[in-house]
Amino acid sequence: MKPKVGIIGKGNVGSAIKRGLEKAGYQVRAVGRDPKEVGETAKWAELVVLAVPFQAIDEALKAMGDGIVGKPLVDVTNLYTPEMMAAVGSRSGAEELQRKAAGAKVVKAFNTHFAKNMETGRIGEQQLTFLAAGDDREAKAKVLGLGRDLGFDAVDAGPLANSKLLESLGNLNIQLGYSLGLGTGIGFRLVRT
């Protein structure tokens, strides 16, 4: 059985994930900033995708309340400044989210790709790599399943502590795409023999 997925955030990222998951046969609800709708969606969902700017996580967590307790909470955020530079800290954004949402099972994923590539997990015919880091094995397995069902090559990226590395990769992707002018038609792929 595919889990019911609640997506908090209806921007480019949340919308792309929603379209892809619906095509893959998932029941999906996506909501914007209305606290009541956010709370109801978190309670309804079996897996929650947090697709809001990092600066909005406190507001989203407050609205979700206990609706995320015991559930996978997928962190798709990237921690960067208004100048599109990586924000430096001792902890990753995902580790900070786990600290604030202690009852949830945070998994870092999706953040290393542009929204336009999240719906299919591909650029043209090339399959992209979906990396997921988290401490709860079962929660991470569910998130890796989402990635596979979207069309990605899903790879376990280890514990949540590795989310700092994924956030760095996400920020590199943003730098390459926007600051260095390569555009959003780029992505990363793990090649193995």
Tens-binned pLDDT, residue by residue, of the chain (193 aa): 899 999 999 999 999 999 999 999 999 999 999 999 999 999 999 999 999 988 899 999 999 999 999 999 999 998 765 665 555 566 889 999 999 999 999 999 999 999 999 999 999 999 999 999 999 999 999 999 999 999 999 999 999 999 999 999 998 999 899 999 999 999 999 999 9
What are the tokens at 80? Answer: 């960067």
What are the tokens at 28? Answer: 């999906």
What pLDDT does 88 receive? 55
Residue-range domain boundaries for the chain = 5-179
Per-residue burial over 85-117, b if 16 or more Cβ lie within 10 Å, else e, is ebeeeeebbbbbbbeebeebbbbbbbbbbbbeb
Read off the amino acid at residue 178: Y
| Number of Cβ atoms within 10 Å of the Cβ of 80 | 18
3-state secondary structure of 42: helix
In which element (H, E) is residue 141 found? helix 137-150
Q: Of 109, 155, 152, 146, whose CA–CA distance to 127 is shortest? A: 152
Specify the pTM. Answer: 0.95
Is residue 139 a contact partner of residue 105, using CB atoms and an 8 Å limit? yes
Q: Write down the architecture of domain 5-179 according to CATH.
A: 3-Layer(aba) Sandwich (3.40)
